[in-house]
């Protein structure tokens, strides 16, 4: 224990079985190496953090993001998804450069860390810019190699950069950065591109990330195009779901789709706020959970949310389905917390995190539970899901490194990031 790098003492913490215990948590390097009721003997930790009035939790995992779209926060409002995409988002994105994506991603990483998020599954252009931002910040990310959207080029030419991206970034820094294969959606791709991305995933052992049945229009038009096949059935017919897959939204999936997702071990990234804002609908999450689907949580982008505060998604997941199904017993706080932590970690292929347990990666958040809105406490899980705020987070740690602490970002220069983001926003708007 002499090489312990950080010790949380006198702290309450969430156990893997979602109970609350009290004691000391020790970190060495990237891992949790000590859990006990008293500080370890003969330990001389480099950093000691007093946990009085605090609760230590696994870091949250945001399983569906477009991080660089913080550049579009508030830009497309009160529009349907199709109008939002084609009249506001796509024209703006056409003006993005790699540097704009880099700074926009850094801004979203800072926001994520502020709210206790330690890892994100991102889907965006210029994977190199996204990974550079994750690399310098210390954040964890599954970044996506993107299949081309639309167009007539069905050759492998758009993927000439894949080998370099995989060599540079896949499993970078002990797996802190991973590369996923990425298909935007059924309505923006075709069979050849989908098989190409599937083959890329199989060849390199990658996860898959895609949008699925986000809107009723998308879902029904797919059935018209493909002889009655839903998006889930169509992707399954192409073998896409044969690789570990995270599907975002799944709002309009049918019962057979849910069984298909469960059979293939797919994860559904539930994005309740984005789905409400764009009036896409409400995903049948209770049915998914009943079928054994791994449900995780996502914010979607800051353009359709408009923040990356996963604590808001947690509360809404805990409330929305009770009202939608007229059943107040649906969705327990434990199911919500699992979705936000270990469920998300598993969706990313990260079996080594998502829980406070010996040998797990020290991806942690410390929250202040001394605030008025956290008292009284009849049940801590209820308070976490229904009362806690993202602003209660006082510390975020990734791989044992403190990346946010009481308003400070040890690895990021926030004023510089904001200045670059504002400059990029003005440059793009001047071109539209």
Q: In this structure, is residue 393 part of a structural domain?
A: no
Read off the pLDDT band of 162 (50, 70, 90).
Answer: confident
Average pLDDT over all residues of the chain: 95
Decide if 305 contacts 277 (C-beta within 8 A).
Answer: yes
pLDDT greater than 80 at residue 159: no
The mean-pLDDT minimum among 65-69, 78-82, 128-132, 142-146 falls in 78-82
For the segment 23-62, what is each residue's pLDDT rounded down to a tens digit? 999 999 999 999 999 999 888 999 999 999 999 999 999 9
Read off the pLDDT band of 145 (50, 70, 90).
Answer: confident
What is the C-alpha separation between 328 and 319, in angstroms, rounded?
Answer: 8
Would you state the pLDDT for residue 146?
75
Would you state the pLDDT for residue 42?
85
For the segment 208-262, what is each residue's pLDDT rounded down to a tens digit? 999 999 999 999 999 999 999 999 999 999 999 999 999 999 999 999 999 999 9
Average pLDDT over residues 108-134: 97
Read off the pLDDT band of 80 (50, 70, 90).
Answer: confident
Would you state the pLDDT for residue 149?
54
Percentage of the chain lying above the pLDDT 90 cut: 91
366: number of CA atoms within 13 Å, CB side?
25
How many C-beta atoms lie closer than 10 Å to residue 152's C-beta?
Answer: 6
Q: Kindly give the interhelix angle for 98-114 and 414-431, rounded to the nearest 10 degrees.
A: 130
Of 65, 124, 133, 122, residue with least CA distance to 99: 133
Would you state the pLDDT for residue 154?
47
Q: Which two tokens stand for residue 227?
A: 């002889």
Q: In this structure, is residue 25 part of a structural domain?
A: no
pLDDT greater than 60 at residue 157: no
Q: In this structure, is residue 404 part of a structural domain?
A: no
What is the C-alpha separation between 316 and 336, in angstroms, rounded?
Answer: 9
Q: In this structure, is residue 193 part of a structural domain?
A: yes
Q: In this structure, is residue 277 part of a structural domain?
A: yes
Region of 59 on the Ramachandran plot (φ > 0 left; ψ -120 to 50 alpha; else beta): beta
For the segment 174-191, what is each residue's pLDDT rounded down to a tens digit? 999 999 999 999 999 999
Triad 77, 68, 73: Cα angle to 5°: 25
Tell me how many domains the chain contains: 1
Which residues lie closer than 8 Å to 275 by C-beta, 6 or more apart?
Answer: 214, 249, 251, 281, 282, 283
Would you state the pLDDT for residue 147?
61
Give the residue, 354 or 162, on which the prediction is more confident: 354
Would you state the pLDDT for residue 254?
98
Q: In this structure, is residue 98 part of a structural domain?
A: no
For the segment 388-427, what is each residue's pLDDT rounded down to a tens digit? 999 999 999 999 999 999 999 999 999 999 999 999 999 9
For the segment 344-372, what is each residue's pLDDT rounded down to a tens digit? 999 999 999 999 999 999 999 999 999 99
Q: In this structure, is residue 353 part of a structural domain?
A: no
Q: In this structure, is residue 414 part of a structural domain?
A: no
Average pLDDT over residues 127-146: 96
Would you state the pLDDT for residue 84?
84
What is the C-alpha separation between 242 and 190, in angstroms, rounded?
Answer: 17
For the segment 288-324, what is each residue's pLDDT rounded down to a tens digit? 999 999 999 999 999 999 999 999 999 999 999 999 9
CATH number where 166 lies: 3.20.20.140
Main-chain dihedrals φ then ψ at residue 367, nearest 5 degrees: -120, 150
Would you state the pLDDT for residue 163?
85
pLDDT greater than 90 at residue 285: yes
pLDDT greater than 70 at residue 158: no
For the segment 194-218, what is each residue's pLDDT rounded down to a tens digit? 999 999 999 999 999 999 999 999 9
Would you state the pLDDT for residue 56?
98
* Domain carrying residue 126: 60-72+116-347
pLDDT greater than 50 at residue 141: yes
Would you state the pLDDT for residue 385?
98
């Amino acid at each position: 224990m002499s090489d312990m790098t950080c010790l949380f003492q006198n702290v309450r913490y969430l156990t893997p079985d979602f109970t609350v215990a009290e004691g000391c948590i020790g970190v060495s390097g990237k891992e949790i190496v000590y859990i006990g009721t008293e500080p370890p003997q003969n330990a001389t930790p480099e950093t000691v953090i007093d946990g009085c009035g605090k609760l230590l939790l696994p870091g949250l995992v945001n399983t569906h993001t477009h991080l660089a779209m913080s550049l579009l926060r508030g830009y497309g409002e009160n529009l349907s998804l199709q109008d939002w995409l084609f009249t506001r988002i796509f024209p703006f994105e056409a003006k993005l450069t790699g540097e704009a994506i880099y700074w926009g991603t850094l801004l979203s990483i800072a926001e994520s860390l502020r709210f206790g998020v330690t890892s994100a599954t991102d889907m965006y252009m210029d994977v190199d810019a996204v990974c550079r931002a994750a690399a310098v910040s210390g954040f964890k990310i599954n970044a996506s190699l993107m299949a081309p959207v639309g167009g007539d080029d069905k050759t492998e030419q758009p993927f000439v950069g894949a080998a370099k991206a995989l060599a540079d970034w896949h499993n970078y820094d002990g797996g802190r950065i991973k590369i996923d294969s990425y298909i935007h959606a059924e309505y923006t791709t075709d069979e050849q591109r989908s098989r190409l991305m599937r083959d890329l995933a199989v060849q390199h052992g990658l996860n898959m990330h895609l949008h699925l049945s986000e809107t009723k229009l998308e879902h029904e038009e797919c059935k018209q195009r493909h002889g009655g096949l839903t998006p889930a059935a169509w992707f399954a017919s192409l073998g896409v779901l044969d690789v570990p897959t995270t599907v975002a939204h799944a709002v309009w999936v049918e019962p057979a789709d849910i069984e298909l997702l469960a059979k293939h071990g797919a994860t559904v990234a539930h994005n309740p706020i984005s789905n409400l804002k764009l009036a896409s609908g409400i995903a049948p999450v209770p049915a998914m959970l009943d079928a054994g689907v791994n449900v995780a949580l996502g914010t979607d982008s800051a353009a359709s949310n408009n923040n990356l505060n996963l604590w808001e998604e947690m509360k809404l997941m805990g409330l929305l389905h009770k009202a939608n199904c007229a059943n107040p017993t649906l969705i327990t706080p434990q199911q919500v917390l699992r979705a936000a932590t270990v469920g998300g970690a598993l969706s990313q292929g990260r079996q080594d995190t998502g829980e406070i347990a010996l040998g797990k990666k020290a991806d942690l958040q410390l929250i202040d539970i001394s605030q008025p809105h956290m008292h009284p406490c009849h049940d801590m899980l209820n308070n976490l899901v229904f009362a806690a705020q993202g602003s209660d987070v006082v510390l975020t740690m990734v791989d044992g490194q403190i990346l946010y602490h009481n308003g400070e970002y040890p690895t990021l220069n926030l004023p510089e990031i904001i200045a670059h983001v504002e400059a990029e926003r003005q440059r793009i708007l001047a071109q539209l």
